[in-house]
Chain A
Amino acid sequence: MNVPYSWLKEFLPELPDVNRVTELLAGLGLGVESVSEVAAPPKDVVIVEVKSSEAIEKSDHLLNVCVSDGKADYQVVCGAPNVTVGMRTALAKVGVYLPGAGFTVAKREIQGVVSNGVLCSPKELALYDYGGGIIEFGDDVALGTELSSLWPSDTIIELEITPNRGDALSMLGVARDLAAKLGTTYRLPDIKRGDATTDDGLTVRVEDSEGCPRFTLQRIDNITVKPSPVWLQRRLASVGLRPRNNVVDVTNYVTYELGHPSHAFDLDRLNDATIVVRNAKAGETVVTLTEQKVDLDEQDLVITTPVEKGSKDTKVIGVAGVIGGLDDSISSTTKHVALEAAHWNMATIRKTAKRHGLSTDAHYRFERGVDPNLSPLAVARGAQLIAELGGGKVHAGYTDVGGDQPLKEVMFRPSRVEFLMGFDVDKKTQQNYLEALGCTVKTLADDEWRVTIPSWRFDLAIEEDLVEEVGRLHGYEHVGETIPNMQFVPDLNDVTHRQLRYLLANMGFQEILSYVFTSDAELAKSNAPVASARLVSPQGVERSVLRTALYPSLIQAAALNHTMPSLALFEIGRVFNDAETERLALLVRGPLIRGGWRPDQKTDFYVVKGLLEKLAHSLGAEVRFEPREVSYLHPGVSASVIWNGKDIGMVGQLHPEIGARYELETTFVAELLLPLPKSQVKFTDIVRQPHAERDIAVIVPKDVTYASLEALVGKAAGERLESVRPFDVYQGPPIPEDKKSLALRLWFRHPERALREDELEGFMGNIISAVTQTGYSIRDK
């Protein structure tokens, strides 16, 4: 919300300078977004009256306009649609630089007509953002007056009001907080309130008193609708609004001055001078002031009037607390006005505004809470201004359904300030602070106060809220710095997987972090599981679902970095299937050791498997690999990873079909579930006996795995077998084409003594007979 320094000063005549004010506001929790200077319009822009206006023959829209500044006439060419004889507007004379248009006014001949200046739009003068017509003034401004003397420069403090502080969304609200901080009082304009018991001929019926606890209506008769005086235009412009006419502008002005939105109805269009507040009916529609057609919902509260005189049926003339309808709004012919200020249920207003995508100054305030006891003052202020500016008469009576709302009370222990804030404020000072904010304090016992909350503070509901109020006014700069003495022993579990990340980085893998957002197309392209979590309003279709696997992100990164000669990437992150799980994914493409001027070390499955084994050994884990196919891996080059006996994921060559889609050459990926199953170190003492080594080569059918042969040999060899390692795998002559030779190196060891030759021969004999019984043969040397 924009707070013009000059407007705030009307409430606080002894307002400190702008720098001090911004400091104070920030200290009060009314966050200052920016402070900006708004310049006055340039010199030699004067008030003129349009004396005549004629269409220029050769043009379809340009006018030859004669204006007068009271002393001289000026002929100007103007294309604005709102030029009317008798109106007052602003003339920029020749030589004036127009800040909002970026040019200097020159004497020019246009379509054969000499133009001696420019009639300006508010935008050209950089007053406010409206360029649809020339600025219009009322007869409050004298001809020939320099506009800059009527519209002086100002300082605008832009505040970011948090959603709990609806009470601060007005000059009054900001002034109230500042006055409490400064220990002064704020000044309200002189407002004469009407008398609710005097009959004003208006009828208000509220059918839903929960949705609408209060409805106040004030009539003003015999007014003239015309442009607002320049002071009012300037005020609205400075808060970012576009001036319209003296009635609508007053309602907006009161919103920003007192914080209570109001709405002016053309009284002649309220049949039977009656307003009914009710829920909308199915199928009902209304066209708003902004000419938007709204299909109403039965949950919406609406303001209605009888469809015709004497009718019981009513038609919608406004969406309660959000926006008025177009049909019954103020027009240039309006004579009598019914000015409404009501109190609405915050959640109802919020739901309606959300449902229809409507966002207005009124709804913004109502959903945050508007002082329910302010409406009589708000309508009185509005009526007084409308009458003052429009020449009408405020009715002595007003209609008020619902009346003042009861005030909340909060029990408060002053000792809690020290307890929570850590600094002490004496009780008298605490009481002063609370009273300065509009609370009343009743002392029940030494440390037990009953605090009555002012009607405008929706955010004060519990003791802690009042602690903050005292702290806020006293100043957060009084908060000390201490370290709590606490009996707590933290868990040292590595929940962020630091060790794993460091190991992988040291093994040559670069970590990346990717978006959890992806698309159905991307998941399909990488053969990943179908999405299980979809976003309601995504940032584009390519970010519409949550990832179901990590490797697709790595593939995309590999594609992005395709010019790199080799890549080793990893990511640790969460994926979203039926359950949310944390995973590690790896990707290797190209040689991990590049020779440059010598041959590279080619990356194949065994390089990647070796890296996983190295990782496992670094973590003290035992890892196995079992052949298994999965849709995203090459069916012949893929395995499940068995880590400490648990199947935790897959490793293999990316399916060439997927590789082709991403234009990737041979790529290897792994995707493992985290946390990795833990290992426990079991120490065994060193055996000091020597080992005995024997080699054996076995010819087996091609599809027999090494692991199955190792298992067969291991079982037959007996307990003295310490280890088996393959040292040669051979296919080719003289081995038959459908067979291969696997050569194994066996180590035997006895824990207490050296093994004898005859024992070893026995072990080998057992192995050979087991192998031959299985149908394999021994390859002779």
Chain B
Amino acid sequence: MQEAITEIQSASTLQTLNDLRVKYLGKKGVITQQLKDLGTLSPDERRKVGQEINAQKQRVEEAIDARKVWLESEALKAKLLSERVDVTLPGLQYSTGGLHILTQVINRLVDVFRSMGYDVATGPELETDYYNFKALNFPDDHPARDTQDTFWTTDGRVLRTHTSPMQVHYMETHKPPFKVIVPGKTFRNEAVDATHEAQFHQLEALVVGERITMADLKGAITTMAKTLFGPNTKTKLQPTYFPFVEPGAEFAIWWKHPRTGREEWLELGGCGMVHPNVFKAVGYENVTGFAFGFGIERLALIPYGIPDVRYFHQGDLRVLEQFRGLL
């Protein structure tokens, strides 16, 4: 019987093991045959020999089961081993998208103003003289118009030189009080170089109510600046002239330059109290308001040290792809 156990324990495949089961335990197997032969013995012997054979049968069965478990686990091991992959080979390359860096800056600004309860509006880029200039208190034949080198179309329209025409559109369709920002493309017919573009982006804010003051204006700019650049940011106003505000100012923010780490003034944009002639143009009475606006490109150029403003509109993926991580 020891021979049978040895044979089972050395079975190398499940098939061999099954053959051994048949050989010993099958209908015509060695042990089955021995049990059949018991009938020829006396009852006493039959009991004694029967017990022995059954004990042997049990040992053979156990040996077969044990061997089966072992062989199965070996087979699984071998199968898994055969399925091993080279995890160091590159993965499939899925096309990776991203948002334009200027879109990301605009999104951030929109978030800032949304959190302050502002509405967001967009509007046409090809404007009429009325919306771009006249309704904004730019008199005809006034040198104030020279401050905004203008692209005129042959049919007398104008590529908006600022996002401010939307002040007029928005006021024509909304009743005060309100707070709104307008992000968008703007155009100036200036000589193009590394720091000047003919097409760029601005963000405009307009707040109108019964009694809005210059302090509300400064509060809004400072809140924006602090949200964007941290709690140590502050704002400075200095008088200047834009036809559509009076009093008018330009604003600078005291910030830590993201690359040099130096704290300094960043001159950002223009602002002021909405000129009464602008309110007159849209039929508003007994309200005051403030407006401010600034260029968006610089907020991308300076922090990332982008050397040339023309990169933004050239569609070169070697440039644009570098800003994907911000998505």
Contacts and interface: CB of A to CB of B under 8 A. Distances in A.
Interface of A: 26-29, 31, 162-165, 346-347, 350-351, 367-368, 419-423, 459, 462, 464-465, 467-468, 471-472, 476-477, 479-484, 486-488, 490-491, 493, 495-496, 498, 501-502, 504-517, 533-539, 543, 546, 553, 556-557, 560-561, 564, 566-570, 573-574, 576, 580, 592-598
Interface in B307-323: 312-317, 320-321
Nearest to B219: A481
A285 B182 CA distance: 49
Given A421-B213, A421-B247, A512-B320, A488 B94 contact: no
B273 interface: yes
Given A486-B179, A501-B103, A560 B316 contact: yes
B155 to A, nearest CB: 7
Contact of A511 (B99, B144, B212, B250): B99
A468 B238 contact: no
A29 B272 CA distance: 13
Contact of A596 (B93, B209, B317): B93
Interface in B124-160: 124-126, 140-144, 146-147, 151-155, 157, 159
Contacts of B147: 162-163
A484 B216 contact: yes
Given A472-B239, A486-B179, A505-B327, A496 B141 contact: no
Contacts of B180: 490
A506 B240 contact: no
Contacts of B121: 495
B53 interface: no
26 contacts: A29-B238, A162-B241, A421-B247, A462-B246, A471-B214, A476-B239, A477-B236, A481-B222, A482-B219, A484-B209, A484-B219, A488-B177, A496-B110, A502-B99, A508-B95, A512-B315, A513-B312, A516-B185, A537-B151, A557-B315, A561-B317, A566-B95, A570-B97, A576-B126, A594-B93, A597-B89
Contacts of B215: 421-423, 479-482
B238 A496 contact: no
B323 to A, nearest CB: 10
A27 B239 contact: yes
Contact of A368 (B143, B222, B239): B143
B291 interface: no
B90 interface: yes
B314 to A, nearest CB: 7
Max chain B Cβ within 10 angstroms of own Cβ: one of A26, A501, A568: A501
A560 B99 contact: no
Task: Please provide the 4 A-B residue pairs with the shortest distance between their CB atoms, ordered closest to farther.
Answer: A29-B239, A422-B215, A508-B95, A557-B315
Contact of A422 (B100, B213, B235): B213
B247 A568 contact: no
Contacts of B314: 560
Contacts of B327: 502, 505
Given A350-B142, A483-B223, 15 more contacts: A471-B247, A482-B216, A487-B177, A488-B178, A490-B118, A490-B120, A506-B97, A516-B199, A533-B153, A533-B157, A539-B192, A546-B126, A546-B153, A561-B315, A592-B95
B239 A504 contact: no
Contacts of A488: 117, 119, 177-179
A420 B247 contact: yes
Contacts of A592: 94-95
B58 interface: no
B98 interface: yes
Nearest to B237: A476
Interface in B218-258: 218-220, 222-223, 235-241, 243, 246-250
A508 B324 CA distance: 11
B53 to A, nearest CB: 55
B28 interface: no
B247 A464 contact: yes
A419 B315 contact: no
Contacts of B100: 511-513
Given A29-B238, A496-B106, A510 B94 contact: no
A486 B209 contact: yes
A669 to B, nearest CB: 14
A358 B188 CA distance: 22
Contact of A593 (B94, B143, B237): B94
Dominant SS at the B interface?
mixed
B275 interface: yes
Contacts of B141: 346-347, 350-351
Interface residues of B, number: 92
Contact of B95 (A423, A487, A573, A593): A593
Given A163-B147, A513-B313, A546-B126, A508 B153 contact: no
Contacts of B183: 496
B319 to A, nearest CB: 10
B64 interface: no
B276 interface: yes
A569 B98 CA distance: 9
B168 interface: no
Contacts of A506: 97
B40 interface: no
Contact of A498 (B92, B107, B217): B107
B32 interface: no
B201 to A, nearest CB: 9
Contacts of B153: 533-536, 546
A663 to B, nearest CB: 16
B102 interface: yes
B97 A505 contact: yes
A547 to B, nearest CB: 11
Interface string B76-88: 0000000000000
A27 B240 contact: no
B166 to A, nearest CB: 11
B10 interface: no
Nearest to A27: B238
B313 A515 contact: yes
B239 A539 contact: no
Contacts of A477: 236-237
A280 to B, nearest CB: 18
B240 A462 contact: no
A486 B180 CA distance: 12
Given A468-B239, A537-B189, A595 B92 contact: yes
A490 B114 contact: yes
A507 B154 CA distance: 41
B276 A483 contact: no
A465 B239 CA distance: 12
B277 to A, nearest CB: 8
B259 interface: no
B288 interface: yes
A361 B273 CA distance: 32
Given A29-B241, A421-B214, A592-B94, A511 B103 contact: yes
A350 B118 CA distance: 41
A569 B320 CA distance: 11
A265 to B, nearest CB: 27
B152 A419 contact: no
A476 B122 CA distance: 31
B171 to A, nearest CB: 14
Interface in B190-212: 192, 198-199, 207, 209, 211-212
Contacts of B99: 501-502, 505, 511
A464 B153 CA distance: 35
A28 B314 CA distance: 41
Nearest to A569: B315
Contacts of A546: 126, 153, 159
B152 A163 contact: no
A422 B216 CA distance: 8
B2 interface: no
A419 B288 CA distance: 9
B96 interface: yes
A618 B312 CA distance: 29
A512 B318 CA distance: 12
